[in-house]
Structure 1
Amino acid sequence: MSSLYERFEQVFMPNYGVPPVALARGEGARVWDVEGREYLDFIAGIAVVSLGHAHPALVEAVSKQVATIAHTSNLFLHEPEVLLAERLTGLLGAPARVFFANSGTEANEAAYKLAVKYGKRTGRSYFVAAENGFHGRTIGALSLSGKKSIRDQFGPFPVDVRFVPYGDADALKEAVTGDCAVVFLEPTQGEAGVVPPPDGYLAAAREICDATGALLVADEIQSAIGRTGHWFAHQADGFTPDILTLAKGLGGGLPIGACVGFGEAGTLFEKGDHGSTFGGNPVSCAAALAVLDNVDLGHVNEVAARLRGGLESIAHPLLKGVRGRGLWLAAVLAEPVSGKVQKAAQDAGFLVNAVQPDAVRIAPPLVVTAGQVDAFTAAFPNILTEASQ
Structure 2
Amino acid sequence: MNWLRRFFAWLFGPKQVTRDVARLPDHSGGRAPDVLKEVVQTGGPVKPNYRRLAVRDARLLPDRSRKGGWTGLAWRAPTSVMTGKESRRLFSNSLRTRNRNLRTLATDEKQLARYGLPLWRTETELAAALNLSIEQLRHFSIHRVRDRVPHYVAFAIPKRSGGERVIHAPKKKLKAVLRNVNDQLVSRLPVHAAAHGFVKGRSVKTNAEPHVGRAVVVKLDLEDFFPTVTWARVRGLLISLGYGYPVAAALASLMTESERQPVTVDGQTFHVPVGDRVCVQGAPTSPGLCNAVTRKMDARLSGLSKKLGFTYSRYADDLTFSGDDAKQIETLLNRATRIIHTEGFVVNGKKTRVMRSGNSQKVAGVTVNETLGLSRKERRKIRAALHQATPEKRAQLEGTLAWVHMLNPEQAAKLKADAVRAPTSPGPTTT
TM over 0.5: no
TM-score (norm 2): 0.26
TM-score (norm 1): 0.28
Higher radius of gyration, 1 or 2: 2
